[in-house]
Structure 1
Amino acid sequence: MDPRIFATVFVTVFVAELGDKTQLATLLFSADRPASRWTVFVASASALVLAAGIGVLAGGWLAQHVSPRHLKLLAGAGFMVIGAWTLRSAFTA
């Protein structure tokens, strides 16, 4: 395992998840009195692991069929579209 890649992926995903709707949903479930915090933690952690696994499998499959350059361009364009949409919604609200 490459520690530099591990650290890069960990920090990127950790920062991306802070304040995300996933974290807020987990916070709300945890604040619910009848819910066990341990159950909420295990369920949300399992869901994130499964989602990451799907992402890794899909990325591996895509890498076999699409060049890395095109994947980077597509990902960058996707983030730009999401950013523009977010800015637009902030100004039109």
Structure 2
Amino acid sequence: MSKSLFWATFVTVFLAELGDKTQLAAMTATARSGALLTVFLAASAALVCATAIGVLVGGALFRLIPEHMVKYAAGAAFIGVGLWVIVKG
């Protein structure tokens, strides 16, 4: 296992997840229920599942589609979601 890849991925995902809707949902669920361990385990399991899907899909895409095309598609999707949030928000 590459330590540099591990830490680069960890830091990137950690910073991306700070303050996002997932964290806010976990805070809300904890505040409403008071069940810290249950919410922590459920949110952790959900993040692991979502990450597994991303890794599997990413691995398949990079075998089928050139890397630069995946980057363009991901960037366009990111911009599209941002515009959708602005318009619908």
Q: Same fold (TM over 0.5)?
A: yes
User: What stretches of structure 2 of length at least 5 have no aligned partner?
Assistant: none
Q: Which residue is 2:19 aligned to?
A: 19
If you compute each CA radius of gyration, which structure gives the higher value, 1 or 2? 1
State the AA in 2 paired with 1:19. Answer: G
Alpha-carbon shift at residue 42 of structure 1 (Å): 0.4
Report how many aligned residue pairs link the two structures. Answer: 89
Identity of aligned residues (%): 45
User: What stretches of structure 1 of length at least 5 have no aligned partner?
Assistant: none
Q: Quick one: distance in 2 between partners of 1:7 and 1:26?
A: 24
Bigger shift: residues 21-30 or 74-83: 74-83
Runs (4 or more) in structure 1 with deviation over 6 Å come to none
State the AA in 1 paired with 2:51. Answer: A
Q: Which residue is 1:81 aligned to?
A: 80
User: Residues 1-93 of structure 1 correspond to what in structure 2 (within 5 A)?
Assistant: 1-33=1-33, 35-85=34-84, 88-89=86-87
Cα RMSD, aligned residues only: 1.9
